[in-house]
Structure 1
Amino acid sequence: MTRVLVVEDDPQLVRALVITMRARRYGVDAAPDGATALRLAATRPPDVVMLDLGLPDMDGVDVIRALRGRSRVPILVLSARHAAGDKVAALDAGADDYVTKPFGTDELMARLRAAVRRTEDTPLALGTTRVETAGFTIDLLAKKAVRQGHDVRLTPTEWQLLELLVTRPGHLVTQRYLLQEVWGASRSGHTNYLRVYMAQLRRKLEPDPAHPRYLITEPGMGYRFEG
């Protein structure tokens, strides 16, 4: 059973989410604040986290950073904050998706299913299982990246983007295709998601993120991996 940790201080919303997800056979834990969420995540590791940014004891972005320090669990933000800066801050901290309140139940469940899919094994194109460059090595079967002898911690969303690129070396992978594959058709126009996540991948893998050698932008079109 997929276990979801809901981090939300609105008891009515929590009750509605718990009823909705349990009816769809998800296991649910709930935390009313950041400290409780981090404690639950450590003692009962969830498969997905649903997180409000406006928590009573700490900002949700700080909770995301704390979770990312020890886990690759998918994090789905539920927030009334609509500003682009808030969305970018949450994604940059390590969130996998961002849903603004109020939201429809069908959309939320689709977002949840997409988050779960990103943690599952996916077929590797062209039989690729291992990618080696002068700067880093990627084992796609083990979902492990190593740079300069050290493991690189990547989120599920970062892994999925990386897989889509490195299994098609030298080929342009369009923005629309990446968005649809990772976030679904409803996010096909959200190119800011790609900019944030590609910047994160470059910071983690490129020797000089400002002048990428491996993860190349094709302006207005998409991205290309050069091994």
Structure 2
Amino acid sequence: MTDTPNRILVVDDEPSITEFVSYALKKEGYNADVVDNGEEAFLLASKNKYDLFILDIMLPGMDGYELCRRLRSKTTSPVLFLSARDTELDKVVGLEIGGDDYLAKPFGVRELIARVRALLRRGTGGDFPGASNSVTVSGITLDEDAHTAVGENGEIDLTPREFELLASLMKSAGKVVSREDLLRDAWGWEYLTETKTVDTHIKRLRDKIAGAGYDPGLVETVRGYGYRFHA
């Protein structure tokens, strides 16, 4: 195992996608480079070592399929395709030309990170930076693999959205997390303008925390910005 974070190249011509994906990767401790076309991506891959490639299929100029073919002449690092094209044929083509996985748009941050972790494990044969899947803060243990939050009185019954919000807050315990960042984590890139929905779900999350015997004030409102989970 190395202490150097995995390096990932993200190739997509939609700024909203690259912003979302690079944010999610960096939050998990990975190094992420971003380009918006296949030609520049291949040039970077020829000069640098990447542990994973995340490629859109519909790129200007050289598309993702052709880029994948060329990458396979240079590297065995895994390739994850991102695409709004979600037919079985698209997936088969992507895998047959050398892709390792296929994720359809829109997607959520947890699904993305789960795919990334799986591909990096497969590529390295073991563990890697950013692979810690559980965290314990203020007596609550959150396990992302099991998708559970467990307190002193047993498991806290959370909806998927509530779990994602709690995960985002607990992994940044002691720090303020903006509503926009919470949206990226819990809902995905396509919901970045609907910040008020976060407040509603935070209220429900606090009720669940109180019902488990904890102070709902563990989730503090930072007025005008977002929320903070107290360590």
Confirm or deny: 8 A CA contact 2:53 2:80 kept in the other structure: yes
Give the aligned partner of residue 204 of structure 1: none
Q: 1:24 aligns with which of 28, 35, 38?
A: 28
Percent of residue pairs bearing the same amino acid type? 40
- SS of the equivalent of 1:87 reads helix
Give the aligned partner of residue 61 of structure 2: 57
**1:64-213 mapped onto 2 (5 Å cutoff):** 64-121=68-125
Structure 2: distance between partners of 1:92 and 1:86: 10
Structure 2: distance between partners of 1:110 and 1:34: 25
**1:12 shift after superposition:** 1.6
Q: Using structure 1 for the length normalisation, give the TM-score.
A: 0.53
Q: Can you give the 5+ residue segments of structure 1 that lack an aligned partner in the other structure?
A: 123-183, 185-227
Structure 2: distance between partners of 1:28 and 1:121: 21
Runs of 4+ in 1 over 2 A off after TM superposition: none
- SS of the equivalent of 1:119 reads helix
Determine which structure has greater relative contact order: mean sequence separation of CA pairs < 8 Å that are 6+ residues apart, divided by chain length: 2
Larger-gyration structure (1/2):
2
Structure 1: distance between partners of 2:22 and 2:52: 14
Q: Can you give the 5+ residue segments of structure 2 that lack an aligned partner in the other structure?
A: 127-144, 146-231
- SS of the equivalent of 1:86 reads helix
**1:115 shift after superposition:** 0.5
